[in-house]
Amino acid sequence: MSIGIQSCLIIGGGMSGLIAGNILQKQGKKVTIIDKGRGIGGRLATRRIHHADQITGVFDYGMQFFAVQDPLFQQWVDQWLLEGVITEWSNQLSDAQTPCYRGKNSNRSLGQYLAQDLDVHLQTRGITITRDDVGWIVETETGQSFERDSLIMTPPVPQSLSLLENSDIPLPSSIKSRLEGVSYHSCTTILALLEQISLIPEPGWLKPSDSPIWAISSNHKKGISPQGFAVTIHSTPEFSDANWNTEEAVIAEKLFNAASHWLGSTVIDYQVHRWRYSHPKTVYGEEFLALENPGLLILAGDAFFFVKLRPKIVI
Ligand SMILES: Cc1cc2nc3c(=O)[nH]c(=O)nc-3n(C[C@H](O)[C@H](O)[C@H](O)COP(=O)(O)OP(=O)(O)OC[C@H]3O[C@@H](n4cnc5c(N)ncnc54)[C@H](O)[C@@H]3O)c2cc1C
C-alpha cells in the first residue's frame, strides 16, 4: 500500500499500528503513534510477577502465539526470525500443524522491536478527533495535540467507533452499521505463579474441551520464564461474560479448580486480567476501511485482518 500523504498519526501501538507505522515510515512519511497503554504492543502483552524468594514469573497474558496465512505477513515473519526477535514455538499447536511463532523473550518484545525506530507516545489516550484544512487533530487525555494529514485507527472497532462518535466525526450510515456489527469475545485471564513445574505437557500449551478454560500455557515450558513456573489461564468467552463482575478471588478459585489437573502445584501468587476485547467474534470483512473525505482516515486492526473468521481460530 502506498498512499499520497506526508504524515500520519496512528492511534494504537499493537501489532497492527506498529506494522503500519513501519511501512509508512519506510515510504518516507512522518509517522507518530499514540497508545493509551503503559507498555507497547497492545494485546502482545507480557507481565512479570516477582515473588519473595527471588522467583520471577514472566507471563505472556494476551496473544500466545501466531501462525502465518498471508504471504506478505510471511515476509515480516522471516525477517523477525532472521533478527532473532521471534522463534518457532511448535507446529503442533494448530490443527493445520503449521509453524506457530512467539516472541523470543516474550511477545511484548516483538512489540518493542517493531517500535524501536518509531515516534511512539505511551500512556497517551486520544480523546477527541477534529479535522481542519491541514489535517486530523487528535487531542489526548494528557493535554497534547497531534496534527497530521492522515489518521489510522487500530483499537478494537467499538473503541474506535465511540471515539469517532464522541468527536462528532460523521460516517456514511452503511459503513457505520457495518462497523457496529463487529464484535469481540471477552476473556478473563489468570497469571498464576506456581511452586513447582506444571503438568501441562510439552510444548506447554493446550486447549481443553468441555471446560471454562479456553487455553492454558506454561510460560516456563514455552521458554520465556526460566526463573518462575508461570502459567497463563485463559477462560472461555462464556465464562468471562458470566463472571465479568465477579470478584477476582472467586474467579481464581473457579479457574484453579478447573485447571487443577494441569497445575499439579500450589499457586504462590496470581493476578487476574479482564480483556473486554480479546479476539473478533464478527469481523468487518475487508482488510481495512479507508475514508477519504474530509481527509484520509483508515480503520484497521484484527477485526479487519481476520478478513473472514478462520474456520478454527488458533487460540
Ligand atoms: C487473551 C488473548 C489471547 C489471544 N491469543 C491469540 C493467539 O494465540 N493467537 C492469535 O493469533 N491471536 C490471539 N489473540 C488476538 C491477538 O492478540 C490480536 O488479534 C492482536 O494482538 C490485535 O492487534 P491489534 O494491533 O489489531 O490490536 P491491539 O493489540 O488491541 O492494539 C490496539 C491498541 O490501541 C490502543 N488504544 C485503544 N484506544 C486508544 C485510544 N483512545 N488512544 C490511544 N490508544 C488506544 C490500545 O491500548 C492497544 O494497544 C489473543 C488476544 C487475547 C486478548
Q: What is the fold of 45-108+184-280?
A: Polyamine Oxidase; Chain A, domain 2 (3.90.660)
- The pLDDT, as a whole number, for residue 2 is 46
Q: Give Dmax over CA atoms of the chain in angstroms.
A: 63
CA distance 16 to 300: 7
Contacts of 40 (CB under 8 A, 6+ apart): 13, 18, 108, 111, 112, 114, 115, 120, 122
pLDDT in tens, 299-314: 999 999 876 544 433 4
The predicted structure's pLDDT at residue 300: 97
ω into 294 cis (within 30 of 0): yes
Atom of ligand 1 at shortest range from CA of 300: 26
pLDDT at 130: 97
Helix (H, G, I), strand (E, B) or coil at 164: helix
Query: Whose CA is closest to atom 13 on ligand 1?
Result: 63
- Ligand 1 and 16: CB distance under 6 A: yes
pLDDT at 1 over 70: no
Instruction: Give the distance (Å) from ligand 1 centre to CA of residue 11.
Output: 12
Q: Identify whether the C-beta of residue 193 lies closer than 8 Å to the C-beta of residue 228.
A: yes
In this predicted structure, what is the pLDDT of residue 310? 47
Q: How far apart are CA 291 and CA 172, in angstroms?
A: 9
What pLDDT is attached to residue 82? 98
Q: Kindly report the CATH number that applies to the domain delimited by 1-38+122-182+283-315.
A: 3.50.50.60
The CA–CA distances, whole Å, from 213 to 179, 199, 255 equal 29, 15, 7
- Contact (CB, 8 A) for 233 and 259: yes
Whether the link from the prior residue into 311 is cis, omega within 30° of 0, is no
Q: Label residue 97 by pLDDT band (50, 70, 90).
A: confident
pLDDT, residue 308, reads 53
Q: What are phi and psi of 290, to 5 degrees?
A: -120, 125
To test the pocket of ligand 1, the residue of 43, 47, 139, 157 to mutate (highest count of ligand atoms within 8 Å of its CB) is 43
Distance 127 CA to ligand 1 centre (A): 19
Domain ranges in the chain? Answer: 1-38+122-182+283-315, 45-108+184-280
Q: 35 in ligand 1 pocket by Cβ < 6 Å?
A: yes
The total number of residues shown for the chain amounts to: 315
Q: What is the mean pLDDT of residues 68-88?
A: 95
CA distances from 212 to 94, 201, 270 (A): 20, 19, 18
> Which pLDDT band, with edges at 50, 70 and 90, does 94 fall under?
confident
Residue 96's pLDDT is: 75
Q: Is 34 in the pocket of ligand 1 (CB under 6 A)?
A: yes
pLDDT, mean of residues 142-147: 97
Sign (positive or negative) of CA dihedral 56, 60, 64, 68? negative
Percent of the chain having pLDDT more than 70?
96
pLDDT score at 305: 80
Q: Which of 63, 139, 162 to mutate to test the pocket of ligand 1 (most atoms within 8 A of CB)?
A: 63
Ligand 1 neighbour 198 (Cβ under 6 A): no
Query: Residue 295: pLDDT band by 50, 70, 90 thresholds?
Result: very high
86 lines ligand 1 (CB under 6 A): no
**What value does the mean pLDDT of the chain take?**
94
**Domain 1-38+122-182+283-315 shares a fold with domain 45-108+184-280:** no
